Amino acid sequence: MSAASLGLRECFDQLIDLTPPQREAWLAAHVLDAELRQELLAMLAADLDDAPLLATSAAALAQQYTPPHEDGAGLVGSCIGPYRLTEVLGQGGTSVVFRAQRASGAGMQTVALKLLRTGLFSAEGQRRFRREQGVLAQLSHPHISGLIEGGISDAGIPYIAMEFVDGLPITEYATARALGLRARLQLLVTVCRAIDSAHRTLVVHRDLKPSNVLVNTAGDIKVLDFGIARLLDDDDHHATQTNAISLTPGYAAPEQYLPGPVTTATDIYALGILMGELLTGQLLRRGHGHANLSRACAGAAAAPAGMPAGVALTRLLRGDLDAIYDTANAPDPGRRYLSAALLADDLERYLHNQPVTARTPSAWYRLRKSMQRNRTASTAAMLALFAIVLGVSLALWQAHVAREQAQRATAVRDFLIELFDASKAGQLPDQRLTLDQLVQRAGKRLQTQTDLSVATRVELLRTLGEVRMAGSDYIQAGQFYDQALHLAQTFYAPSDTAVTQIRLLQASLLIHQSRYADASTAYAALLPQMRKDNNAASVDGLQNYASALMYSARTEQALAISAEAAQHAAALYGAGSMGAVQADLVRGNLLVGSGRHADAAQLLESALQTWRSSGRAPTQDFLQGLTDLSRVRQTLGESAAAESLLRETLATAERIYDAPHDRIALALLNLGDALSLQARLDEAEPVLVRALAMMRAVYGDGHLRVANTLSSLGKLELRRRDLAAATQHIRAAVQWCERPDLHATRSCTDIFANQADLALATGDLAQADASSTRALAMAQEIFPQGHHWMAYLWQLRAELSLRRNDAAAALALCDQARELLLRLDKQHGTTAEMVLARRASALTALGRPAEALVDIHRALAMWQQLAPAGYLHQIELLDVLASIQTRLGDGRAARDTARRAVALVKDRSWVEPALLARIDALAESGR
């Protein structure tokens, strides 16, 4: 019987139900592949074996591998610096706090001494510890527990001596004294003022909670641990991540979970939470169903001592205090009180029965509020809708040349206002509409409502489509466009601009969906119309058409259309106008994409300069221009110029957009990639991690951009030889390229190439073979005329051949790559350098070290010029050089080369162990 079609699982499933003799019979009766048979036998044996590994849970195992926490009790009685430790006061995740004493004049000074659980290893960490300590020492306020001194013990453990406060957490104090509402609020005002004074010296607390706000026996408030979290952070270069260590769930502001600097707004949030806890006696949680203060305490079992209970408390808190609490706790930091002082002012206004600012009524404010409450809709999308709505109405108002249009504007406005009424404040939160529902409802009404003119309905349907497109809901956007087109065709002539406009949007929707070939076809059909119309929409259309062509690998055609778009723009907007500059930038982008770097550099440089000197606010196009120019600089080996352009891009993007945004994320991604290329991995990683978090926040999983970012992060981890992390990220990226409706894209070529690279690093040659084949097939589909990526992939496959001991095949691949680069005139660049280095390895393996020496020297020189800071790759190149020199019998030169390589190693875990062992041994030889 043949079991050729049976897989491992099928065989296993059949076998385990059998008795041992039956199994033997089964195995005898089936013709199995030797490998499969062996695996099955091993599995059947393992099935009987009770390995402890899988019997435990992963959490228990991880716990077992975790070094035990030290409670510090053993240190009582010992000395740290000038202090003698007398008692353990408390435990934290990162530190232990002791009561400690030191001789002071005739008496003893008692302090609270905080001891970090681990040392500050890096010189930078220690430097920063001293610097931050200087800042904190200046923080002098009667209600802030002062820093007495900080130091680093002989063992390298940092400690901080603080004023010792003998008191209760503010909430416990208030309850112990049964304080009423006014007394509690007064305490809070004092806390706010103290926090504000620290904020004015630019120190953020970052971890405010009742246990850090004590009231001593004299009734004085002392805020503890100001800025300590930051002080104890060891890795400054991870500054964007430092918030991660110091947050306490429940008190942490939403932005603290995001990478990014912590601001004073974070403390304001914590003050709001503190207010809630102080007034209701419980820790209230935002976004967990408690819309506000009064509603939260309605369901509470008991009110804290001194405060009224039940309905009376609810009534007390409803209104002003709800509003103050809401403002302090706004999820968006920009909507909170601007300072702790303003929060204190509002609390005092309440205490003096004056109206509070948190309740200033304004229609716009309410509208914004109602938008904030739209849970599923992102604020950005809501604002986009509003922008479009206002834009349509305003544009139509301004153009009120025709009465018909003015009427239409009114009709549109009324229609929208009626729609929005449904979601305005005053309704129960659950009954308010989400953006999705709103758009759905609008769409449905437009189908049935007949008092609007056809023109208006077409315009609204189209607008709704644009809103959904901006919200990345491409399916619904497509439906709205279809409806708009259908309706428009019953009313307008086929060549009317209103119809063309919808068709152009449908084509751009295809680009959004990465369906570039389909988009090209759609634009091609519209080309005569775009040429004839010559308006803003047609210039955009031509530019999009050029991009679609570019991405479907029709470079020449793309450049021709892009030239036409630039001409149209110059004719429409006037030469040298912003419109023309914008068109130049778009064209520059295409030139970069097609590898015409010199042309691109010139065009982009002048367009960006015109823009900068015009004083016009930067936009997306400006950002793209900066990014494109940096890419050109990078390719030309000017990494410093490239980096500075990328930093300008990031700073500009952060200035334009205050919330997480695609453009900021892209700027981060590009910067991370550039740093990574220069082997500045520690700088690159936080940038890429931030990029990933932001991409995910903007797009969710399963998007090209997220896949690209994952792939970049994976590549970085691969460079650092964190293979597990690299595997995870690259695998996640590959998922995007494995969807059923996949078509060849540049990104997937790149992602598959990364996967192949990774597989080579892990020694999975079969995977490396499969992935590189896939990448190559895609590259060939996209660039039938050849592209330097193919050369890159060939040299990857040459490495694969070398691993399989087929040096001749490796050399053939390298030669093929070299010829292609020659034909493409790309003999300078990272790909050319890789090909040279790989060829040197192939030649060495073939016993032709003299020729190899020429190639490796050229590779080294080229790399030196391309990425002088890229020491990791340089080490690899030196390793090849040393082995060639050994082959040539020049042991002395080989040893010197190895020493050069060893001197470059910074973190030994970033270098492949075998390589490291090789150069170590060689460098030591003859000593």
Partner 1 sequence: MRQVVNASGVDEWVDGLYLQLRALARSERRRSGAPDTLHTTALVNELYLKLADAERLRFGEARQFFSYAAKAMRHILLDRAKLQMRLKREDPRLRVALTDPDVETLTIDPAQALELDAALDALLLRDPRAAEVVDLHFFAGLGLDQVAALLGVAPRTVARDWRFASAFLKARLT
Stretch 240-259 residues interacting with partner 1 (CB under 8 A): 241, 244-245, 249-250, 254, 257-259
Tell me 252's DSSP state: S
Q: How far is the CB of 118 from partner 1 (least distance, A)?
A: 4
Considering the rule CB under 8 A, would residue 155 count as an interface residue with partner 1? yes
Q: Is 821 in the site for partner 1 (CB under 8 A)?
A: no
Whether 114 has a binding-site annotation, put simply, is yes
Region near partner 1 per CB under 8 A, out of 93-101, 541-549, 618-626, 669-677: 93-101
For position 66 contacting partner 1 by CB under 8 A, the verdict is yes
User: In the bound complex, what is the minimum distance in angstroms from residue 771's beta carbon to partner 1?
Assistant: 13
Instruction: For residue 447, state whether it binds partner 1 (rule: CB under 8 A).
Output: no
Binder to partner 1 among 196, 717, 833, 876 (CB under 8 A)?
717
Question: x-or-dash pattern for partner 1, window 720-749, by CB under 8 A?
Answer: x-x-xx-xx---------------------
CB of 125 or CB of 478, closer to partner 1: 125
Q: Which CB sits closer to partner 1, 116 or 650?
A: 116
- Of the candidates 134, 287, 355, 528, which one interacts with partner 1 according to CB under 8 A? 287
Distance CA 613, CA 573 (A): 18
Candidate ranges 65-73, 128-136, 703-711, 749-757; the one touching partner 1 (CB under 8 A): 65-73
Q: Is 46 in the site for partner 1 (CB under 8 A)?
A: yes
Residue closer to partner 1 by CB (options 724, 914) is: 724
For residue 74, state whether it binds partner 1 (rule: CB under 8 A): yes
How many residues touch partner 1 (CB under 8 A)?
Answer: 80
| Of the residues 21, 35, 288, 431, which one makes contact with partner 1 according to CB under 8 A | 288
Is residue 68 a contact residue for partner 1 (CB under 8 A)?
Answer: yes
* Residue for token pair 């930093």: 647
Task: Indicate the residue among 55 and 363 with the shorter CB distance to partner 1.
Answer: 55
Q: Is 619 exposed, middle or buried (0-12, 13-18, 19+ CB in 10 A)?
A: middle
Find the binder of partner 1 among 235, 599, 683, 851 (CB under 8 A).
235
Residue pair 216/222 in contact by the 8 Å Cβ criterion: yes
Distance CA 764, CA 768 (A): 6
In the region spanning residues 664 to 693, those forming contacts with partner 1, defined by CB under 8 A, are 685-686, 689, 693
Among 238, 512, 647, 703, binds partner 1 (CB under 8 A): 238
Give the Å distances, CA to CA, from 517 to 247, 522, 545, 866, 927: 48, 9, 10, 35, 64
Q: Closest approach of Cβ 578 to partner 1, in Å?
A: 39
Task: Report the site for partner 1 in 6-45 (rule: CB under 8 A).
Answer: 8-9, 12-13, 16, 39, 42-45
- At residue 108, φ and ψ (nearest 5 deg) are -115, 140
User: Which residue has tokens 């894209």?
Assistant: 745
The string of DSSP letters for 295-330 reads HHHHT-S-PPTTS--HHHHHHHHTTHHHHHHHHHT-
Nearest distance in Å: CB 718, partner 1 = 12
Per rule CB under 8 A, is residue 289 in the interface with partner 1? Answer: yes
Closest CA to 13 of 51, 52, 47: 47
Given the complex with partner 1, which of 70 and 166 has the nearer CB atom? 70
For partner 1, the binding residue among 19, 398, 448, 909 (CB under 8 A) is 909
Q: Which is nearer to partner 1, 242 or 649 (CB)?
A: 242
Give 851-874 as a DSSP string: HHHHHHHHHHHHHHHH-TT-HHHH
d(CA 649, CA 621): 11
Q: Which DSSP string do the residues of 48-61 spell out, in sequence order? A: HS--HHHHS-HHHH
The answer to the question of residue 702 lying near partner 1 (CB under 8 A) is no
The residue (of 247 and 549) whose beta carbon lies closer to partner 1 is 247
Spatial contact of 306 and 174, defined as CB atoms under 8 Å apart:
yes
Choose between 47 and 166: whose C-beta lies nearer to partner 1.
47
Tokens read off for 811 = 């050399």
Residue 905: which of 679, 745, 710 has the closest Cα? 679
How far is the C-alpha of 921 from the C-alpha of 130, rounded, in Å? 40
Residue closer to partner 1 (CB basis): 155 or 914: 155
CB 207 within 8 Å of CB 248: yes
* CB 72 to partner 1: min, Å: 6
| C-alpha pair distances (Å), 664 with each of 243, 385, 616, 656 | 20, 21, 20, 9
Question: How near is the Cβ of 157 to partner 1 at its closest, in Å?
Answer: 6
Work out the burial of residue 6: count CB atoms within 10 Å of its CB; fewer than 13 is exposed, 13-18 middle, 19 or more buried: middle
- DSSP character at residue 214: E
- Binding string, 120-139, against partner 1, x = CB under 8 A? -xx--x--------------
- Nearest residue (CB) to partner 1, 685 versus 757: 685
Spatial contact of 402 and 460, defined as CB atoms under 8 Å apart: no
Q: Which is nearer to partner 1, 434 or 534 (CB)?
A: 434
| DSSP annotation string for 161-177 | EEE---EEEHHHHHHHT
> Can you say how many angstroms the Cα of residue 53 is from the centroid of all Cα atoms in its chain?
35
Task: For the CB of residue 522, give the shortest distance to partner 1 in the complex, in Å.
Answer: 35
Q: Does 482 bind partner 1 (CB under 8 A)?
A: no
Annotated binding site: 114
Annotated binding site for ATP: 114
